[in-house]
Amino acid sequence: MTRLSVNINKVATLRNARGGNVPNVEQFAKDCERFGAQGITVHPRPDERHIRRSDVYAIRRCIHTELNIEGNPEPEFVKMVCEVRPAQVTLVPDGHDQLTSNHGWDTIAHRDFLTEITRRFHEAGIRVSIFINPVAEMVEGAKSVEADRVELYTGPYAEMFEQAPEQAIAMYRDAALKAREVGLGLNAGHDLSTTNLPALIHAFPWIDEVSIGHQLIADALYWGIKETIQRYLACCK
């Protein structure tokens, strides 16, 4: 079964909009875990517009399931991750002014940098996943830097799925097959929903983990977080 990691950034966005501590992101993370989520994902950005660095330390202490920290491996981020020591770090090439993640690493052009960063996280006992576009060569590049997994950026998949589901799946086939061929774990994330997730899992049942935030939190406004997590877990089977 593909594991579900719930990205709780949007919960922090809501909290920060009002100030104070409502909703409580630590309690929300614990509740997601209690309702069946097999992981919690956070993506702290330098401006702390949603998840704050202090949240990352607090969440690490209060959950028992896997913590996945996403972000651009700049010095402050690297220092924090090595101190927190999550189960997994996902390297994402975000710019400071970027609204959301919208592209993956060029693992060939940035091979030396990614090799050094991966080595440093491995020394801290942290699994490394690299966020990439669905290109087989980028998978091979991730393997060459000794990453443990790749996370396929699924924004284009979600955008195409409604009108052309078979083409959307086909766009990811080479990269997914290449990951299995070279022995890399496979994650996926961005704009996944209960509508498009089942087809992705059916096509590539070796996906280890999906990280889902914005759509899942939006669905929870209607279904409640417990029911929402159960529905996404059903999609992952």
CATH label of the domain that carries residue 30: 3.20.20.70
Amino acid at 61: R
With a cut of 70, say whether residue 138 has pLDDT above it: yes
Q: What is the mean pLDDT of the chain?
A: 96
Token look-up 């593909």 returns 2
Q: What is the pLDDT of residue 99?
A: 52
- Cα dihedral 131, 137, 143, 144 sign: negative
Q: How many domains does the chain have?
A: 1
Hey, which residues does 5 pair with through a beta bridge?
39, 211
Question: Active site includes 70?
Answer: yes
Which residues span the domain enclosing 66?
A: 3-236
- 26 in catalytic set: no
- 219-33-20 Cα angle (round to 5): 70
Q: Which pLDDT belongs to residue 98? A: 54
Looking at 33, 43, 50, 151, which residue is catalytic? 43
pLDDT value of position 102: 62
Residue 215 burial by CB count (10 A; 0-12/13-18/19+): exposed, middle or buried?
buried
Annotated catalytic residue 64: no
Length of the chain (residues): 237
**In the prediction, which pLDDT does 94 show?**
77
